[in-house]
Amino acid sequence: MTFGPAGRRLWRGSTRRKNRLGEDHALENNLLQLAQCLDAHDDLEIMYGKDTQLFPAMLLGRRAAVGSTFNMIADVYRTGAQALFAGDVDAVREATRSARDLVETANRFGGPAAQKALYNMVTVDCGAARPPFPAISRAAETELRALVDRYPALSAHTASTS
CB 102 within 8 A of CB 73: yes
Q: Output the pLDDT for position 4.
A: 54
Q: Say whether 162 sits in a helix, a strand or coil.
A: coil
Q: Which residues pair with 65 in a beta bridge?
A: 48
Rounded to an integer, what distance in angstroms lies between the CA atom of residue 103 and that of residue 147? Answer: 12
pLDDT digits (tens, 9 = 90+) for 76-120: 899 999 999 999 999 999 999 888 888 888 888 878 888 888 888
CB 92 within 8 A of CB 83: yes
Over range 49-65, report the average pLDDT.
85
- CA angle, corner 107, sides to 103 and 111, nearest 5? 105
Q: Which of 23-27, 105-109, 125-129 has the lowest mean pLDDT?
A: 23-27
CB 56 within 8 A of CB 31: yes
